[in-house]
Amino acid sequence: MRFGDVFDTLAGGEPKTLEQITAEVSGKTGNPESEAVVKAILTAYVNGLGFIELRLGTDSPDTYILTDAGRERIEYNERIAKYRMGHK
């Protein structure tokens, strides 16, 4: 599992719970991933990089969502990927 596997699960823009993110990452990697590991990666993005926001739920579960910086990072990654595909 890579940082990007966790980060990319939020690319659609809708808020997701830790459980949803863990399930998606497990599907991508083909391995059952640990919620604790996924949460540690999310925490790095929330606290260190500022790409993801944690929204604390009162009546609903806590959710994670991309910040503007996170969306910009995904757009940047997509531009770099397109550049590399065209210049091999």
The pLDDT, as a whole number, for residue 88 is 55
- Mean pLDDT, residues 30-57: 93
Residues whose CB is less than 8 angstroms from the CB of residue 52 and which lie 6 or more positions away in sequence, other chains included: 7, 10, 42, 45, 46, 64, 65, 66, 67, 70
- Mean pLDDT, residues 12-18: 93
- Mean pLDDT, residues 70-81: 91
pTM comes to 0.83
CATH number of 3-86: 1.10.10.10
At 80, the pLDDT band (50, 70, 90 cuts) reads: very high
User: Residue 69 pLDDT > 70, yes or no?
Assistant: yes
